[in-house]
Every structure is written in structure tokens, then in C-alpha cells.
Chain A
């Protein structure tokens, strides 16, 4: 079965420091990868998807099929980036999203 692993439950960084949230997946084919974010007292929402190849709120993520990874990066963390981040995978078509257990990012002023 497909699996998404986010090895860090909590990641604390200082404001202005680079951020990298790790995501590894297990699937031998070509998956679709997503990052979802949940800010305090807000709904879970899509941050970015790998097929879009875009930067959202300064965040980027590159799919590395060799390492089966989809790490989320931002060069300079902001306090408003503090949130819960979930990596998710789907194997195509109308298959369900498989989520990792999430990483809580805390940006310290």
C-alpha cells in the first residue's frame, strides 16, 4: 500500500532561517504529490501540488523520484508560516489522497 512519511512531528526554526519539511513516500509508479497546510483555527487547505511547479507564499517543493521525496522548502521563514503541514499522495485518477501524519512548524521570533 502507498505510504507517506513525515519524519518530524515538530520543527522549530528562527524567523529568517531556512525551512525544510521532509516528506518521503512509498510508491513505485508516478504519483501526484501535494502539500496541505492548516493554520491555527483555520481549515485544512491546499498549499501546493507538484504538477503546478509553482511557489506559494515563498514555499517550493520538488518531486525527487529517485529518492521518493517531496520536501517542502522556504529560504526565509516568517512567523505567519507557523502551522501544521501535511504531505499527501495520490496515485492517479480518482484515487483517494493518502496523508502523512503531519509536521508542526513553529517559527520563533
Chain B
């Protein structure tokens, strides 16, 4: 099976802009989770979607949002970008939810100038 794919792989934006990142899970996987990875904070959970519904949400401001489509593909959106949003954004998919092993994508590197 093809692995989790994320697009784009690299992105440069300026403060105040918004950005949309995309994640295609492994075929048959219905759960998609998003994480923010930074050198200082490590991996922090953003949210999880299952069958088009947000099932869990991390402690991030409302500027961070996401959605999942009927084919399980997911997008996350960050509005009004801040310098501190510069990070590697990882997507992970699993068959049913986080109690299954999660398979990670390569990440999208977002740089905010």
C-alpha cells in the first residue's frame, strides 16, 4: 500500500497570510491526526478526524482548523499566520483511531517570514 502523503512538502508564507495543508491517508484508513513538530516543543497534537468528524482536539488557538472529506483525505488550515507557526506539520493515519498504530507522513515544512 502507498504510504501517507502530504502536500506541499515545503511552504513559505508571510505573517498574516493563511495556509492550507493536505494529507492523504493510507487506503482504508479512516482516522487522520495532525501534529505540529518544533525543536522547542517537540510533537504536539493538533486534532484527529474520523469519518469526517473531529474526534479529538489539542490545545491550539482557533486559528488552527481542519476537516476531513468522505474519501478520508484531510486538510488543515492556519489563518493569520504568526512567526511561531513555523514548524513541521505531520499527518498520521490509522485504520480506526489512535488505539491503532499510527502511520506518519513525511510532513509539510512551513516557514513563516
Tell me the A residues contacting B by CB distance below 8 Å.
32, 43-46, 49, 86, 88, 90, 92-102
Q: Does B33 contact A (CB under 8 A)?
A: yes
Contact between chains at B101 and A96 (CB < 8 Å): no
Majority-rule SS of B interface residues? strand
Contact between chains at A99 and B104 (CB < 8 Å): no
Contact between chains at A43 and B43 (CB < 8 Å): no
Residues of B within 8 A of A92 (CB): 99
A16 to B57 Cα, complex, angstroms: 43
Residues of A within 8 A of B3 (CB): 43
Contact between chains at B101 and A94 (CB < 8 Å): no
Contact between chains at B56 and A101 (CB < 8 Å): no
- Interface magnitude class on chain B: 20 to 34
Tell me the B residues contacting A by CB distance below 8 Å.
3-4, 31, 33, 35, 41-45, 48, 50, 55-56, 58, 90, 92, 97-99, 101-107
Contact between chains at A96 and B56 (CB < 8 Å): yes
A96 to B35 Cα, complex, angstroms: 10
Contact between chains at B104 and A95 (CB < 8 Å): no
Residues of A within 8 A of B101 (CB): 46, 49
Contact between chains at A99 and B97 (CB < 8 Å): no
Q: Would you give 10 A-B contacts (Cβ < 8 Å), ordered by A?
A: A32-B99, A45-B104, A46-B102, A88-B43, A90-B99, A94-B48, A94-B99, A95-B98, A96-B33, A96-B56
A63 to B56 Cα, complex, angstroms: 26
A78 to B56 Cα, complex, angstroms: 38
Residues of B within 8 A of A94 (CB): 31, 48, 50, 55-56, 97-99
Residues of B within 8 A of A99 (CB): 35, 42-45
Contact of A101 among B35, B42, B99 (CB under 8 A): B42
Residues of B within 8 A of A86 (CB): 42-43
A94 to B4 Cα, complex, angstroms: 20
Nearest CB in chain B to that of A101: its residue: B42
Contact between chains at A43 and B99 (CB < 8 Å): no
A95 to B50 Cα, complex, angstroms: 12
A60 to B107 Cα, complex, angstroms: 28
